[in-house]
Chain A
Amino acid sequence: MRTLLFFCAILISIVIYFGLLEFLTYVGKGETLGPTLGPVIGYFILSKLLEMLFMALFFMLLFSSIISALSFLFLDEELSTLMASPTKIITIFRSRFILMTIDSSWMTMIFFAPVFLAFATAMRAEALSYLLFILFLCLFVLLPNICGAGTAVLLSSFFPVRQMRKVFQFLSILVLTGLVFFIRSLEAEKLLNTKHFEKVSDYLLSIQLPLSAYSPSVLIHQSSMHLFNGNLKAAFSNIFPLIIILVFGLLALNILASKYYRSAWQFSLEALDNQILGMEWLRKILIWPLKYFKRDFKVIAEKEITTFLRDPAVFSQIFMMGAIILVYAYNLSILPLKDIPSFYSKSTNNALVFLNGPFIGFIISAISMRFVYPSISMEGRAFWSVKSSPISPQRIMFIKFTLYLFPMLVLSLILCTITNTLFEVSHSYMLWLSYFNVIMITFVVTSLAIGVGTVFANFSADSALKISGSYGGFIFMILSGLYIINLIILELYPMYRTTFFKNNLDLGYASPSLFWINIIIIFVCTASWIYIPFKKGLNAINAYEPD
Chain B
Amino acid sequence: MNRTEPIIRFTNIQKKYGDFAALKPINLEIFKGELFGFLGPNGAGKTTLIRILTGIIKATGGTVSIGGFSLEKEPESAKRMLGYVPDRPYLYEKLSPLEYFDFMGGLYNVKQSEITSIGEKLLKLFDLWNKRNDLIESFSHGMKQKVAMSAANLHKPDILVVDEPTVGLDPKSVKLAKQFFKDMTLEGKTIFLTTHTLSVAEDLCDRIAIIRSGEIAAIGTLEELQTKASMPNNNLEDIFLKITEEENLPKAII
Cβ-defined contact, A310 with B135, below 8 A: yes
Chain B residues in 8 Å Cβ range of A382? 90-93
> Which residues of A from 425 to 458 have beta carbons under 8 Å from B?
none
Q: A275-B134, A382-B92, A385-B151 are in contact. Are A296 and B56 (CB under 8 A)?
A: no
CA distance A387 to B151 in the complex (A): 15
Q: A157 on the interface (CB 8 Å rule)?
A: no
Q: A275-B135, A296-B106, A386-B107 are in contact. Are A310 and B94 (CB under 8 A)?
A: yes
Cβ-defined contact, A390 with B151, below 8 A: no
What does the 1/0 interface line of B35-47 toward A look like (CB < 8 Å)?
0000000000000
Chain B residues in 8 Å Cβ range of A303? 92, 95, 99, 103
Q: How far is the CB of B112 from chain A (nearest CB, A)?
A: 9
Q: A381 on the interface (CB 8 Å rule)?
A: yes
Q: A254 on the interface (CB 8 Å rule)?
A: no
Cβ-defined contact, B151 with A389, below 8 A: no
- In the complex, the chain A residue whose C-beta lies closest to that of B54 is A388
Contact residues of A: prevailing secondary structure = helix
Q: B32 on the interface (CB 8 Å rule)?
A: no
CA distance A543 to B58 in the complex (A): 8
Cβ-defined contact, B56 with A388, below 8 A: yes
Q: Which of B79, B134, B135 contacts A390 (CB 8 A)?
A: B79
Total interface residues in chain B, CB < 8 Å: 37
Cβ-defined contact, B90 with A307, below 8 A: no
Q: How far is the CB of B250 from chain A (nearest CB, A)?
A: 29
Extra contacts besides A388-B54, A392-B76 (19): CB < 8 Å: A275-B134, A296-B106, A299-B106, A302-B106, A303-B99, A306-B94, A307-B92, A310-B94, A380-B93, A382-B91, A384-B56, A384-B84, A385-B91, A387-B55, A388-B84, A389-B108, A390-B79, A391-B76, A392-B75
Q: How far is the CB of A341 from chain B (nearest CB, A)?
A: 57
Chain B residues in 8 Å Cβ range of A190? none
Shortest beta-carbon contacts, A-B, top 6: A299-B106, A381-B90, A389-B107, A310-B94, A388-B54, A390-B76
CA distance A271 to B140 in the complex (A): 13
Q: B197 on the interface (CB 8 Å rule)?
A: no
Cβ-defined contact, A299 with B107, below 8 A: yes
Cβ-defined contact, B104 with A389, below 8 A: yes
> Which residues of B from 149 to 170 have beta carbons under 8 Å from A?
151
CA distance A6 to B13 in the complex (A): 39
- Would you give 24 A-B contacts (Cβ < 8 Å), ordered by A? A271-B138, A275-B137, A275-B138, A276-B96, A276-B133, A300-B107, A302-B99, A302-B103, A303-B103, A306-B95, A306-B99, A307-B92, A310-B94, A380-B90, A380-B92, A380-B93, A385-B104, A385-B151, A387-B56, A389-B104, A389-B107, A389-B108, A390-B79, A390-B80
Q: A303-B92, A384-B86, A384-B90 are in contact. Are A545 and B51 (CB under 8 A)?
A: yes
Q: B88 on the interface (CB 8 Å rule)?
A: yes
Cβ-defined contact, B90 with A299, below 8 A: no
Chain B residues in 8 Å Cβ range of A300? 103, 106-107
Q: A311 on the interface (CB 8 Å rule)?
A: yes
Q: A276-B135, A380-B90 are in contact. Are A296 and B55 (CB under 8 A)?
A: no
- In the complex, the chain B residue whose C-beta lies closest to that of A291 is B112
Chain A residues in 8 Å Cβ range of B106? 295-296, 298-300, 302
CA distance A392 to B79 in the complex (A): 10
Chain B residues in 8 Å Cβ range of A389? 79, 104, 107-108
Most chain A beta-carbon contacts within 10 A, residue among B90, B93, B105: B90
Q: How far is the CB of A460 from chain B (nearest CB, A)?
A: 10
Chain B residues in 8 Å Cβ range of A295? 106, 109
Q: How far is the CB of B115 from chain A (nearest CB, A)?
A: 10
Q: A546 on the interface (CB 8 Å rule)?
A: yes
Cβ-defined contact, B92 with A296, below 8 A: no
